[in-house]
Homo-oligomer: A and B are copies of this chain.
């Protein structure tokens, strides 16, 4: 699968179940959320702004998406977790490159990650933040079921602080 096909297949509305494991305390957190992924054109204001933020020419980007989510955790059912992020793929080779994000995963600051597509169709993303590093592996179990494993490592990259697993089911139109 190419990175373009991967993002093409990711477009849509998803119901997500996420389990997060705090490894030091052996604690579980269960999060349910709704995720919407839409495609963005290179001349979209948010894409232009993202590229400017990262000092990259819009022409260098391959595919861009916006992702928004709204969910709740069993740790605090009164608090709604929501957010939105714009992401642009830059290819440095046929199966690897950079991912620009308006909002990061481990820290809510703009981030640039390094991605690669593995031979068996897993999108692997490494992002280094100021105090942590994130590793995400995303793949399709079926065209309508996306899986995601995310690790937050210490900034040295050795220890893993939390590991989480998401299963995202495509909401089918009636």
- Whether the pair B17, A21 counts as a contact (CB closer than 8 A) is yes
Chain A 1-37, CB-CB to B under 8 Å as 1, else 0, gives 0000000000000010101010100101010100000
Q: A17-B23, A28-B30 are in contact. List 13 more A-B contacts (CB 8 A).
A: A19-B19, A19-B21, A21-B165, A23-B145, A28-B28, A28-B74, A118-B118, A118-B119, A120-B124, A135-B141, A141-B163, A142-B158, A163-B165
**Which chain A residues in 133-174 approach chain B with CB under 8 Å?**
135, 141-142, 145, 147, 149, 151, 158-160, 163, 165, 167, 169
- Whether the pair B21, A167 counts as a contact (CB closer than 8 A) is yes
Distance in angstroms from A168 CB to nearest chain B CB is 10
Q: How many residues of A contact B (CB 8 A)?
A: 29
Kindly report which residue of chain B lies nearest to residue A15, judged by CB atoms: B26
A118 to B120, CA, bound (A): 8
Distance in angstroms from A1 CB to nearest chain B CB is 14
A28 to B61, CA, bound (A): 38
Distance in angstroms from A125 CB to nearest chain B CB is 13
Query: In the complex, which residues of chain B have a beta carbon less than 8 angstroms from the beta carbon of A118?
Result: 118-120
> Of B17, B119, B120, B159, which contacts A28 at CB under 8 A?
B17
Query: In the complex, which residues of chain B have a beta carbon less than 8 angstroms from the beta carbon of A142?
Result: 158-160
Distance in angstroms from A169 CB to nearest chain B CB is 6
- Whether the pair A147, B149 counts as a contact (CB closer than 8 A) is yes
**Which chain A residues in 45-68 approach chain B with CB under 8 Å?**
none
Distance in angstroms from A129 CB to nearest chain B CB is 17
Distance in angstroms from A54 CB to nearest chain B CB is 27
Query: In the complex, which residues of chain B have a beta carbon less than 8 angstroms from the beta carbon of A165?
Result: 19, 21, 149, 163, 165
